[in-house]
């Protein structure tokens, strides 16, 4: 899929509705990132890291961040 233009400088995109974070480099159709962008209920992180997303209570998406879930990184 193509990376949303507004997030071309970010790797991680959070969904505020479900407190889930996606990796835009690995996002799949199941992530529904396009729908998330359209909903405008998304969040960016600063710094743009999985650790920062976790600090803010976001859990890694099982579709694009399965390894992070296994390792308990978030
Ligand atoms: Zn995802």
Give tens-digit pLDDT for 18-71: 999 999 999 999 999 999 999 999 999 999 999 999 999 999 999 999 988 666
Tell me the CA–centroid distance for residue 27 and ligand 1, in Å. 5
Model pLDDT, residue 30: 97
Please say if the pLDDT value at position 74 is more than 60. Answer: no
Tell me the CA–centroid distance for residue 40 and ligand 1, in Å. 16
Q: What is 42-66 written as a DSSP string?
A: EE--SS-SHHHHHHTTPEEPTTT-H
Give tens-digit pLDDT for 2-14: 666 667 789 999 9
Model pLDDT, residue 3: 67
Angle formed at CA 22 by CA 18 and CA 27, multiple of 5 degrees: 125
Tell me the CA–centroid distance for residue 16 and ligand 1, in Å. 13
- Measure CA 18 to chain center: 11
Q: Residues whose CB is under 5 A from ligand 1 (ion)? A: 22, 31, 61, 63-64
pTM, entire model? 0.85
Model pLDDT, residue 68: 81
Going by C-beta distance under 8 Å and a sequence separation of 6 or more, which residues neighbour residue 18? none
């Amino acid at each position: 899929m193509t990376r949303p233009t507004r997030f071309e400088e970010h790797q991680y995109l959070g969904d505020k509705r479900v407190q889930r974070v996606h990796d835009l480099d690995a996002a799949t159709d199941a992530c529904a990132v396009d729908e998330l962008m359209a909903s405008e209920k998304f969040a960016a992180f600063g710094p743009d890291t999985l650790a920062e997303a976790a600090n803010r209570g976001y859990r890694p998406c099982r579709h694009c961040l399965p390894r992070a879930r296994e390792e308990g990184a978030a």
